[in-house]
Chain A
Amino acid sequence: MNATPHTDGLSFGPTASSKMYLAMYQHRGHDPSKSCWSPDVPPPMEYSIFERADDEQHSDPDGHYWGVRDAAGAALGTAGERLAKFPFNALETVPWHGYPVSPASGRPSETPPDSLIEGFIDAGVVSRTFGRKLQRRKA
């Protein structure tokens, strides 16, 4: 998987649907106010999480993509986050990006809709336990 260095991060892609992706340095510790990918999720793995979300259309009605490391919800963020959000990007010229989020934080922007999680459980993207805990705001 080839990455191209960019001033703001490492660029990957395109995906099968022609999306470019930027693994941003600001979510790799350069901006302490931003959530941060875990060191054991290196940029190529971050991109593969996005690529799967794009391939399998893990998007909500607002167009945001949501991704996981595995069905059990292994941590992917330095604060223990188990879910990644790739906010909707309408501009084809701008690469997508993403970051770790947690419904347990209580922040609505970090919470995918129940119907998306139900679909994840039905499709085996997440285990029932992990899915329910996302819905119960305990993950």
Chain B
Amino acid sequence: MKKILRLFLPGSFEDAQLYMGHLMVFTTERDTRLLELEALTSRLEAQYPQWQGVLRLAFARNDWLTSGVTKSLAQNPLFASALNVAFDQVANTQIALDDGDFALQPLHNFKQDADVILDTVVYAQRLYLGTTAGLYDYDIDWQELSVGAQRRRIDARCVSATAEYGAINASCEDEGLFTGYDEFGWQGLRNEATLIRTAERSVRAAWLGTDLVNYESPTTPELLSASVEAVTTDGGAADWKRKVVTRFSRPTRELDDLVTELCVQRKVDPPDVQFVWNSSRAFFINTHSHGFFSAVRASERDIRFTRHGAADGRVIAVHRYSGGWVIETDFRAYVLARGHLIELLDEEPLSVRAFEGSKRYKRIIAITVETGVHLISIIDTF
């Protein structure tokens, strides 16, 4: 059973991210502003007694939900029951803030030259903006809440970006897919500003382990196999071991059998396939009239499909959070839980963000709408 908790912050925003203790909002005034989440939730807990002890766990410190202390306490049915009651009391309700309830802080020195933000990524303390004028990056000093000079990494219209394993990938439609390897010099061999063209066409890309799936069209995935090196970077008291992608192979069409097999096994006409997406381990395929499926490759020749149901309208994106998948359709957002779709939002999202890889925000979905940002926390039963 999922407990869904909601916090709404009004404003005129284009997108929102959660990173390093802050909600980052990208405003319609081409500015980026910040809100410190622990301070906000502490203040709100005093204001809303029913939410006391819950708000911070839900919206600022998801890591505490799975900490040793909480897990240990929840093994005792009395404690587990008390936690469930506390969360159930506020589940499916919302705290809707007014403008005066919070103050956004500036991200100093931030300057957005491009007209329109198309995508945002925050990775390794660096902000990447995919825009109508190209891909920009900004190194953020989280102590000073300021950015260094923006760099325009590529001038092709960048509709989508994805970062992991020290690399950034910029999807620039007909201009192609462009990759920057070892962006942070972890491997120590190169740290150049130039991006390399790694595929001829790209509408988006997603990681499949350390490999990359490039989507030449919304239903045409191609595989870029990665060469990876394990590196140790200086993390102060403890060194960090990381995987760094050093090169992608040329794109191959070995994933074509995903759609082909679905059509054979489930008797779907190829034009009925509407949208394909992948997480690190599985694929998601939506169809116009046969519902949507997950697909897992059991062996080289064996792809197993599971039908989960049907989304209301076209699927335009899928996002992974620690509890499963968030499915974004034309006019709604849902969480897929045990084969069932639970509606998260009954209005059209402008952007949906999930934070599977983060420490503190694994269970939060940030959904920007025309009038503000919904922070939605999805908590499992203790």
Whether a CB of chain B sits under 8 angstroms from the CB of A138 is yes
Tell whether, in the assembled complex, residue A129 and residue B350 are in contact, meaning their CB atoms are under 8 Å apart: yes
Whether a CB of chain A sits under 8 angstroms from the CB of B45 is no
Chain B residues within an 8 Å CB radius of A79: 274, 288, 314
Tell whether, in the assembled complex, residue B330 and residue A136 are in contact, meaning their CB atoms are under 8 Å apart: no
In chain B between 309 and 326, which residues have their CB closer than 8 angstroms to a CB of chain A? 313-314, 316-317
In chain A between 98 and 139, which residues have their CB closer than 8 angstroms to a CB of chain B? 104-108, 114, 118, 127-130, 132-133, 135-139
Whole-angstrom distance from the CB of A71 to the nearest CB of chain B? 11
- Inter-chain residue pair count (beta carbon < 8 A): 62
Whether a CB of chain A sits under 8 angstroms from the CB of B257 is no
Chain B residues within an 8 Å CB radius of A135: 116, 118, 132
Tell whether, in the assembled complex, residue A75 and residue B115 are in contact, meaning their CB atoms are under 8 Å apart: no
Chain A residues within an 8 Å CB radius of B159: 136-137
Whether a CB of chain B sits under 8 angstroms from the CB of A72 is yes
- In the complex the two chains form, what is the Cα distance from A133 to B328 in whole Å? 12
- In the complex the two chains form, what is the Cα distance from A128 to B217 in whole Å? 25
Whether a CB of chain A sits under 8 angstroms from the CB of B164 is no
Whether a CB of chain B sits under 8 angstroms from the CB of A69 is no
Interface residue SS majority, chain B: loop
Whether a CB of chain A sits under 8 angstroms from the CB of B173 is yes
- In the complex the two chains form, what is the Cα distance from A106 to B173 in whole Å? 8
Tell whether, in the assembled complex, residue A118 and residue B116 are in contact, meaning their CB atoms are under 8 Å apart: yes
Whether a CB of chain A sits under 8 angstroms from the CB of B28 is yes
- In the complex the two chains form, what is the Cα distance from A130 to B316 in whole Å? 13
Residues of A in contact with B, size category: 20 to 34
Tell whether, in the assembled complex, residue B118 and residue A136 are in contact, meaning their CB atoms are under 8 Å apart: yes
Q: Which of A82, A128, A137 has the most CB of B within 10 A?
A: A137
Known contacts being A104-B314, A106-B218, is A132 close to B330, with CB within 8 Å?
A: no
Tell whether, in the assembled complex, residue B203 and residue A137 are in contact, meaning their CB atoms are under 8 Å apart: yes
Tell whether, in the assembled complex, residue A118 and residue B314 are in contact, meaning their CB atoms are under 8 Å apart: no
Kindly identify which residue among B28, B217, B330, B369 contacts A106, using a CB–CB cutoff of 8 Å: B217
Interface string of B4-35 (1 = CB under 8 A from A): 00000000001000000000000010000000
Residues of B within 8 A of A (CB): 14, 28, 115-116, 118-119, 132, 157, 159, 173-174, 203, 215-218, 274, 288, 313-314, 316-317, 328, 330, 348-350, 369-370
4 shortest A-B CB distances, which residue pairs?
A: A106-B217, A80-B314, A138-B316, A106-B203
Extra pairs beyond A80-B274, A132-B14 (16, CB < 8 Å): A75-B313, A79-B274, A79-B288, A80-B314, A80-B330, A104-B314, A104-B316, A105-B218, A106-B203, A106-B217, A114-B116, A129-B348, A129-B369, A133-B350, A137-B203, A139-B316
Residues of A within 8 A of B (CB): 72, 75, 79-80, 82, 104-108, 114, 118, 127-130, 132-133, 135-139
A–B pairs, 16, beta carbons within 8 Å: A75-B330, A80-B313, A80-B330, A104-B218, A104-B314, A105-B218, A106-B203, A106-B217, A127-B370, A128-B350, A128-B370, A129-B370, A132-B350, A133-B350, A135-B116, A138-B317
